[in-house]
Structure 1
Amino acid sequence: MPLRVTFVAAARSSPLLAERFQDDRPLDQAGWDEVQRVAGELLPLAAAELRYCSPTPRSRATGDALGYAPLVQLALRDCDMGRWRGLTLGEAMAREPDQVDAWLSDPLGAPHGGESLLAFITRVGGWLDTRPVGDGDRIVAVAEPSVIRAALVYALKAPPATYWNIDVRPLSTTTVTGRGGRWNLRFDPSSAQASRA
């Protein structure tokens, strides 16, 4: 039986334009309110045999608030942004515009002194490929949107530049099914659609 890995995007801790590289801020009140609004829909995922999360405070808090009691996975950490850690994209662009352009256009580049996009995608994909077989076929992982984007690029064997074209919204779910090296993206009807079917 194939594994079913459902990623849940962590609730946001700031407005989108204030998002920072490797943001370690906890959930703010708006984030907590968001989690409470969708908890009923996401609570059934707590039945997964294995429950994981990124090491960020907001991923852990989102998983705990949803009743998952997730195990932290270091491989699901955000991309190492080196000296840009804590900056917004706009701040990094104002300080080092040529380096930001190079980083956005070259998946092997790491002008910030951290991890390249390709290395990040490969690390997250390695985690996906090494999920235990036989310990349960359902897995839930609460992660930062960037981590989920990296997992999708890896699972679909898409070019690294595809990463920039994937939009992962806070508290959205994305499911991949398969086994190490062979993954499929799975679309399930929302609970509202399923109740109308």
Structure 2
Amino acid sequence: MNHTVFKEWFISQLIPNIPPSSIIVMDNASYHSSQIDKLPTTSDRKTVIKDWLIEKGETPGDDLLKDDLLAMVKQHTSRWPRKYEIDIIASKHGHKVVRLPPYHCQYNPIELIWSQVKQYAKKNNFKMSDLKSLISEALQQVTPENWKNAVNHAETLQRDDTSRDLAIDNFVDSFVINLESSDEEEL
């Protein structure tokens, strides 16, 4: 899979087949995340970073080091939020893309559905020549109830993780020791 293939599928297969004003949950696979006007990184040449800043209305001095230029980029990232090509395509069709946090694919219900599809293919001892028809069969086996269960599972994981995070925060906060002197602690 690459961005070109994904974009073609997104435009020709997904967009025409979903209800108006849909919310599309997207993970952070590289082919889902092709950026428009990508922020410069350490792998860019100094002139590229400087030109990008100038294009954004900044006036970086000629004496700045590459690290200084990148610090300028980082300082203003809230003014230049990331824009993803797929998000813009979706919004032009009245849809919204919601991106999952990086490294949290377990919150995406589609992962459970793909697992179901793969298990179907595995049970049917597929040959590569039969894979396309077998996947089509497997997708037809996916029911609204399967989707409901997958969404409920993802929501449960999110609630459990949030509860665990809050418990850890509260536990850690109970160990914080204030080292500032107070009126009660005279030496």
RCO greater where, 1 or 2, for CA within 8 Å and sep 6 or more? 1
User: Is the radius of gyration larger for structure 1 or structure 2?
Assistant: 2
Q: Same fold (TM over 0.5)?
A: no
TM range (shorter): under 0.3
Hey, which of these two has a bigger chunk of strand by percent?
1
TM-score (norm 1): 0.27
Q: Provide the TM-score with structure 2 as the length reference.
A: 0.28
